[in-house]
Amino acid sequence: MPFGAGGRTYLILDQSLRPVAGDQLWFTEVDDLLSWPCESMPEVSAGIVVAATVRLYRRRVDPGFTPESIHSWLIRRPYATYLVRAEGRSMIDNGIHPGSLLVVDRSCDLHDGDIVIAGCIEGFLVKQYRTRPDRLVSGNSEYPDIALESVPKYGLDGVVIASLTRHRGLE
C-alpha cells in the first residue's frame, strides 16, 4: 500500500494523535493519504496520523522572580567569589560534569550536604560535605568517601553555590 506521493514515505507517528489542519491521515479502506480536514470522511472507525504538523512554542516569560542579570543572581559577594572549571567524573551524580563551571563562594557558612572545594597537598577536590561522621562524599560510586577525622590535611576553600554545564557548543 503506497504511503505518499512522489516516492516519499511517511512515518506513522501515533494512532492516538488528534489531527490538525494540514496533517496527512491513512485509513485502511482508502489507498491514498487524505489531508485533514477531509472533504469526504471514509466510513471507518479511526485513521492513523502519518505526517503530523509539529509546532514548537517558546515558553512565556516567567512572571515570578526576574534577576537584573545572571551575575547578580549567582554572585552575592563578589569579593569572596571565584569561578573554577571542574575536571574528572567524581561528581556526575550531583550534576557536575567535566568542564562544568563552578561558582564558589569563600564566605559561605558550611552546612551538611554542601558541595565544597577542598584543598589538599595534591591540589583541590570537589566533593559533598557530610556530617556524622565528618567526611567528603563523591557523587559517583566509583570514588570512595574521605573521612576527615583520619585525614586532617583537607582544608575548605569554598562552597559551590552553582554549577553551569554547557549543553550546546559555541557557534
Q: 95-128, pLDDT tens digit by residue?
A: 999 999 999 999 989 999 999 998 877 788 999 9
Active-site annotation holder among 90, 100, 138, 163 = 90
Q: What is the pLDDT of residue 82?
A: 92
Q: What pLDDT score does 105 carry?
A: 94
> Mind listing the pLDDT tens digit for each residue in 43-100?
554 555 455 444 545 555 556 666 677 788 888 888 999 999 999 999 999 999 999 9
Residues 86 and 17 in one domain: no
Closest by alpha carbon to 136, among 108, 109, 165, 156?
156
Q: Would you say residue 80 lies in a domain?
A: yes
pLDDT digits (tens, 9 = 90+) for 3-22: 444 444 444 444 555 666 66
Average pLDDT over residues 19-47: 63
User: Is 4 part of any domain?
Assistant: yes
- Are residues 44 and 74 located together in one domain of the fold? no
Are 157 and 82 part of one and the same domain? yes
- 30, pLDDT greater than 70: no
Judge whether 127 counts as a catalytic residue. Answer: yes
Name the catalytic one among 16, 69, 72, 127. 127
User: Is 31 part of a structural domain of the chain?
Assistant: yes
Q: Give domain status of residue 96, yes or no.
A: yes
Q: How many domains does the chain have?
A: 2
151 and 78 assigned to the same domain? yes
In this prediction, residues 145-150 reach a mean pLDDT of: 79
Grid coordinates given for 137 = 562524599
- Predicted pLDDT of residue 40: 64
Residue 170 covered by a domain: no
62 is a domain residue: no
Collapsing DSSP to helix, strand or coil, 9 comes out as coil
* Whether residue 97 is found in the same domain as residue 24: no
Listed in sequence order, the residues at least 6 apart from 25 whose beta carbon sits closer than 8 Å to its beta carbon are 19, 33, 34, 35, 36, 38, 47, 48, 49, 50
Q: For 39-86, what is the HEC assignment?
A: CCCCCCCCCEEEECCCCCCCCCCCCCCCCCCHHHHHCCCHHHEEEEEC
Q: Which pLDDT belongs to residue 7?
A: 42
Q: Which residues pair with 34 in a beta bridge?
A: 25
Q: Is the pTM of this model over 0.85?
A: no
Same domain flag for 157 and 80? yes
Give me the domain span that covers residue 30.
1-56
**Distance between CA atoms of residues 32 and 39, nearest Å:** 14
CATH label of the domain that carries residue 98: 2.10.109.10
Amino acid at 135: R
Cβ neighbors of 31 (< 8 A, separation 6 or more) are 1, 2
pLDDT above 70: residue 129: yes
Confidence label for 28 from pLDDT (cuts 50, 70 and 90) = low
Q: What is the pLDDT of residue 9?
A: 41
The C-alpha atoms of residue 9 and residue 89 are separated, in whole angstroms, by 43
pLDDT at position 46, please? 56
Tell me: do 145 and 92 sit in the same domain: yes
Strand partners, 26: 48
